[in-house]
Each structure stands twice: as structure tokens, then as C-alpha cells.
Amino acid sequence: MIGIVLAAHGPLPAAFLESTNMILGEMPQVASVSLMPGDSLEGLTDRLRAAVNVVNTGDGVLILLDMFGGTPANAAAFLAQQTNDVYAVTGVSLPMLLETCMARMSMEGSPQEVPLRSLAETALSAGHAGIVDIVEAFKKFQQVKIDQESIGT
């Protein structure tokens, strides 16, 4: 199974993991790494490497990060350049994390494990789909409902 590491500024990674565990149940092979005030890039890179090693059982690791260009992303980019079995995606959100974990769980135990790149693409797609202008979505829903009522459906 592909491991997942959440890395971000402050307590965000632990909060994402706690929320995911609340919704989906305890997630195996998932770790969180936080950048806290005063942490160095080198120290964060060492902690990120350790987390990757803990969750990697041979199928690779997907690192989900808060933002491109931040210290966690820079540390992840450094690790991804050093090994072929680490992939990183920025812009982590709860919908992205949930969809990624569910995709990973759906393939568990099947003869074809989810390739690391494919799981990263799932994360990217879920991240994009999770961004919704709820006011516009609600307006569209109301219009569809009105249209259906007017034609007697």
C-alpha cells in the first residue's frame, strides 16, 4: 500500500489526519509532519524523511502539502529528487485527502495496487473538484428544481 505523509505549516497536518480518521476510520500508513516556528529546512527535511521511511512499505509515498513554495514543499521536493518512490502534491484539502485515502483503500489487497503517479493524479483531481462556489452551485440547483417543477417532473 502506498504511504501518505501530510506536511504543512503549524498544526494543520495533524488536524487533517484527525478529521480523516474521524470520517474514514483509522488510516494505516499515514503520518503527519508539521513545520513549527523556529524549525529549519534541514530539520524539517530530516523529520519528513523519517516519516516517509515509516509509512513506506515498498509501494512508495505520496506527500500532500499545504502550499507550493513553502518550506514543507521545498523539503518534499528535495526528497522527491533523491528517490523514485516519493511523489508530492501541494494544495492539500480535506476533500483531496479523503478521496486519496478512499482510492488507496479501494485498491488494497487487489492484484493491481494503485501506482504512485495514479494516486497523485487522484489527489490533484479531488483537490480541484473540492473547490466550489457554493452560492453559484446553490443557484444552479434552485434553477434545476424550478425547471423540473415547471415541466411536471
pLDDT of residue 109: 62
How many Cβ atoms are within 10 Å of 60's Cβ, its own excluded?
23
How far is the C-alpha of 36 from the C-alpha of 8, rounded, in Å?
Answer: 9
Q: What's the total number of domains in the chain?
A: 1
Q: Render pLDDT for 21-67 as a digit per residue (tens, 0 to 9).
A: 999 999 999 999 999 999 999 999 999 999 999 999 999 999 999 99
How far is the C-alpha of 144 from the C-alpha of 87, rounded, in Å?
Answer: 41
pLDDT of residue 21: 97
Q: Render pLDDT for 75-124 as a digit per residue (tens, 0 to 9).
A: 999 999 998 899 999 999 999 999 999 999 887 765 556 689 999 999 99
What is the percentage of the chain residues whose pLDDT exceeds 70?
95
pLDDT of residue 110: 59
Cβ-based burial of 107 (10 A; exposed 0-12, middle 13-18, buried ≥19): middle
Expressed as residue numbers, the domain containing 129 is 3-150
CATH of the domain at 62: 3.40.50.510
Q: For the stretch 114-130, what's the b/e string if a residue is b when 16 or more beta carbons lie within 10 angstroms of its beta carbon?
A: bebeebbebbeebbeee
How far is the C-alpha of 85 from the C-alpha of 83, rounded, in Å?
Answer: 6
Catalytic residues: 9
